[in-house]
Structure 1
Amino acid sequence: MSNPSKAKGTAWESDIVGYLRDHHNDRTHRNVQMGRLDIGDIDGYYLHALEAKAEKTITLSDYIAQANREAVNAGQPYGCAVVKRRMKGVADGYVVRDVRTDVRLISRLRDMEAALQRAAPDVYRLIDLLHRVAA
């Protein structure tokens, strides 16, 4: 690839795909770019259109606006950017969304957990225990 910036971006996308396949969804893959109707860089991050960014100068507002547009195009309820942290791997990168999107996501999580707790309390307790690992 003759463009070093493009090569870095492609490598970052591939690294994210590998990480998500190992830790989240083994069917995660890079999307084909679709221009004006782009659907995000990566598919397979549950309920999200994911925009991968590996740039020297970080412009969060642009990343979030792009991710939110692409979420609409992809038919996903949430958009986010996964931003590379200099000299670090994927696990130390940043997942970024605006507060409006985060509140919608956390409200959905709260409501779904409450519904599961009412419908299947034993299942809820098991899942809760699995996910209580602190950072």
Structure 2
Amino acid sequence: MANPNKIKGTQWESAIRDYLNAFLGLVDAHGKFLDPFDAGNVRRPAQEGAKDVGDIHCAPFVLEAKNTRSPAVPTWIRQAEVEARHAGFPFGVVVRKVRGSSVAMGRVHVSVRTWTRIRLAHGMPTDEFAALYGWSVSLRGLDTSRWYLTTTVRDFGHLVGDYRRNVLSGVTGRAVR
């Protein structure tokens, strides 16, 4: 008998992958890749032994998908960052399911350090970056390692698209929607 929690986790990972591929325009109306060899396709990688490489690769991000009732966001973020290093990606983020909501309303969590690196790569001021991508701050006491920022999967999809267009292509300036 299959583990029901593993099944729920796999379904959530697949839902994120499918949503982001469609949002980024990487698949046709039937969910088939427009270019199966495109490195920008969002994929669920095969696990590679002791060094986990994350649940979803959405270059330049590794996503750690979580479908649990009890949140442990700072711990999950540390896990995502380690897995991003294992996979050779610069950014690790957590994507948490919101019960009773669509994939688009799932929550994407990043450390303050990762958020700052992404913002600087975009060349944007803090307030503008936060407003454009709907970031909110969670401060957990005086221990800054427990602080993180959160946005929706939908806004994260915009961020990924803008990052790929503006940062990876070498274009400087502001994202425009």
- In structure 2, the CA distance between the partners of 1:35 and 1:61, relative to structure 1 (3 Å rule), is farther
What one-letter code is carried by the residue in structure 2 that aligns with 1:116?
A: V
60 and 25 in structure 1: CA distance in 2 versus 1, 3 angstrom threshold:
farther
Over the aligned positions, Cα root-mean-square deviation in angstroms equals: 2.1
Cα shift at 1:25: 6.0
What is the SS of the residue equivalent to 1:73?
A: helix
2:21 corresponds in structure 1 to 21
**TM-score, normalising length from structure 1?**
0.80
SS of 2:95's partner is strand
1:53 matches 2:79: no
1:79 paired with 2:96, answer: no
- SS of the residue 1:106 aligns to: helix
Q: TM-score, normalised by structure 2?
A: 0.62
Q: Secondary structure at the match of 1:81?
A: strand
Return the match for 1:107 from 108, 120, 124: 120
Whole-angstrom distance in 2 between the partners of 1:24 and 1:52: 19
Q: Deviations over 1:39-92 (max 9, x none)?
A: 11011x231111111011111012101100011011111100111011112100
Q: SS in structure 2 opposite 1:50?
A: strand
Residue 63 of structure 1, aligned match among 55, 67, 76: 76
Question: Does residue 86 of structure 2 align to residue 31 of structure 1?
Answer: no
5+ residue gaps, structure 2: 27-40, 125-165
Change (3 A) 1:98 1:128: closer
1:116 aligns with 2:130: no
CA deviation after TM superposition for structure 1 residue 24, in Å: 2.1
Q: Is the 8 A contact 2:60 2:90 kept in 1?
A: yes
Inter-partner Cα distance in structure 2 for 1:67 and 1:103: 16
Aligned length: 120
Of Structure 1 and Structure 2, the greater helix share is in 1
Segments ≥4 residues shifted beyond 3 Å: none
